[in-house]
């Protein structure tokens, strides 16, 4: 019988005596099918996915569903309360401490409960994130086990890279649960657009998994990127961006000024942040002047180049012609380690290629097999 249920998983008792719990929505379809998990607000200042979940809860008809959708709309309640990325009680980043520790710090205990009480029984996981208080972001983080889900979600940029140790997605992948990470919206900018995009992506994933009738709606062109530079200021101040929302998902030339860090005291320019690659594809920007601390996420830009980027056109890979890498900027961006990597990759279910692009720098002998 199809139904919607709401329950709470007890976490702990706080110092003030209040009970803390994890909210869980379950939407169960009439017919059998996979169990899809979704998590939001692992980082407390990433609200947009929670708004998407509410829309999903309102609009998904259990009678049309095969299988079950289990959503945790607030995975880190205390971080939501303080609207901070990390948990205020121990300043810890929940998405770096999975699988957690039963008798560890608070955030480790929380991770442990999520692993013990939520993850078992999942067939797939979509872990949702956003840009946070200031940045706005727009891409899918593909894990090795879920290329078709990343494709089907339907955003324009798919990042195929290593997942942080201690991230929920890292652990679920190790358990054989195909997982994708959605990075969408943030900064309270263009929320309506990203809510619709996220909702479409959620339905797309369920269509891909045959939990709903129909085919996913994906853009004609999606860009797969392998190397992603995070541009962080080395000094704090007010970051005045020179790129905006219109640049998100677009390529800017290497050396383009992305923003300037200005002293709020003296108004001096204390740092200039530039696009690190000859063809830098912007996937995270700050669109208005914002406070930055040293090391904050200011911009994120993967290389959009023939060495590591392809378009997926109607399910088939197509190489994109572009500039070669610029080693000097690699070094300048502190990315020497990336240069040494040899990221042959496999995109099972969509297309496959095995060429070592970075080591074969300058060569364009990427071999791409047919759809598998």
HEC profile for 231-284?
ECCCCCEEEEECCCHHHCCCEEECCCEEEEEECCCCCCEEEEEECCCCEEECCE
Which CB, 35 or 197, lies closer to Zn ion?
197
Size, binding site for Zn ion by CB under 5 A: 3
Tokens 């991770």, residue?
111
Residues 213 and 363: their CA atoms lie apart, in Å, by 43
Find the shortest distance in angstroms from Cβ 75 to Zn ion. Answer: 10
- Nearest-approach distance from CB 181 to Zn ion, in angstroms: 8
Contact flag: residue 129 with Zn ion (CB under 5 A): yes
The two three-digit tokens of residue 192, written as one number: 């309506």
CB of 100 to Zn ion, least distance (A): 17
- Alpha-helical regions (H) of 9-76: 48-59
Give the orientation angle of helix 191-208 with respect to helix 48-59, to 10 degrees.
50
Out of 25, 27, 43, 80, the residue judged to bind Zn ion by CB under 5 A = 43
Q: How many CA within 13 A on the CB side of residue 348? A: 5
Decide whether 112 or 129 has the Cβ nearer to Zn ion: 129
Nearer to Zn ion, 194 or 345 (CB): 194
DSSP H or E run through 97: none
Least CB distance from residue 129 to Zn ion, whole Å? 3
Restricting to residues 179-208, which ones interact with Zn ion according to CB under 5 A?
A: none
Using Cβ positions, the residue closest to Zn ion within the complex turns out to be: 129
Min dist CB 325 to Zn ion, Å, is 28
Rule CB under 5 A: say whether 25 interacts with Zn ion.
no
Rounded to a whole number of angstroms, the minimum distance from the CB of residue 156 to Zn ion is 20
> Do you find a cis peptide bond into 99, omega within 30 degrees of 0?
yes
Under rule CB under 5 A, residue 127 binds Zn ion = no
Query: Which part of the chain contacts Zn ion (CB under 5 A), choosing from 37-45, 66-74, 108-116, 309-317?
Result: 37-45
- CA torsion through residues 258, 262, 267, 268, sign: negative
- 43 or 226, CB closer to Zn ion? 43
Residues that bind Zn ion (CB under 5 A): 43, 46, 129
């Amino acid at each position: 019988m199809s139904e919607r249920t709401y329950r709470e998983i007890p976490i702990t008792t706080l110092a003030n005596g209040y009970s803390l719990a994890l909210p869980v929505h379950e939407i169960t379809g009439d017919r059998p099918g996979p169990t899809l998990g979704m998590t939001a607000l692992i980082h407390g200042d990433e609200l947009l996915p929670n708004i998407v979940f509410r829309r999903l809860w309102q609009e998904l008809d259990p009678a049309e569903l095969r299988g079950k959708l289990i959503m945790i709309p607030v995975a880190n309640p205390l971080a939501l309360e303080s609207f901070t990325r990390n948990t205020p009680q121990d300043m810890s980043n929940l998405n770096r401490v999975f699988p957690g520790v039963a008798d560890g710090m608070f955030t480790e205990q929380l991770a442990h409960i999520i692993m013990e009480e939520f993850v078992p029984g999942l067939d797939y996981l979509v872990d949702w994130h956003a840009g946070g208080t200031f940045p706005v972001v727009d891409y899918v983080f593909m894990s090795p086990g879920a290329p078709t889900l990343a494709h089907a979600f339907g955003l324009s940029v798919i990042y195929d890279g290593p997942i942080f140790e201690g991230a929920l997605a890292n652990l679920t992948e190790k358990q054989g649960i195909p997982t994708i990470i959605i990075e969408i919206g943030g900064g309270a900018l263009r929320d309506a657009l990203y809510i619709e995009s996220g909702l479409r992506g959620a339905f797309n994933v369920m269509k891909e998994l045959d939990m709903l009738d129909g085919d996913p709606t994906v853009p004609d062109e999606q860009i797969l990127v392998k190397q992603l530079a995070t541009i962080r200021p080395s000094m704090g101040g007010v970051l005045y961006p020179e790129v905006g929302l219109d640049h998100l998902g677009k390529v800017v030339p290497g050396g383009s000024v992305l923003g300037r860090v200005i002293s709020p005291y003296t108004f001096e320019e204390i740092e200039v942040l530039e696009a690190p690659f000859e063809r830098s594809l912007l996937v995270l920007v700050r669109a208005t002047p914002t406070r930055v601390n040293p090391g904050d996420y200011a911009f994120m830009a993967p290389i959009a180049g023939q060495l590591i980027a392809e378009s997926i056109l109607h399910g088939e890979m197509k190489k994109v012609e572009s500039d070669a890498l610029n080693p000097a900027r690699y070094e300048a961006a502190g990315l020497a380690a990336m240069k040494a990597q040899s990221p042959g990759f496999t995109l099972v279910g969509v297309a496959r290629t095995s060429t070592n692009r970075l080591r074969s720098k300058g060569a364009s002998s990427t071999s791409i097999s047919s759809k598998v």
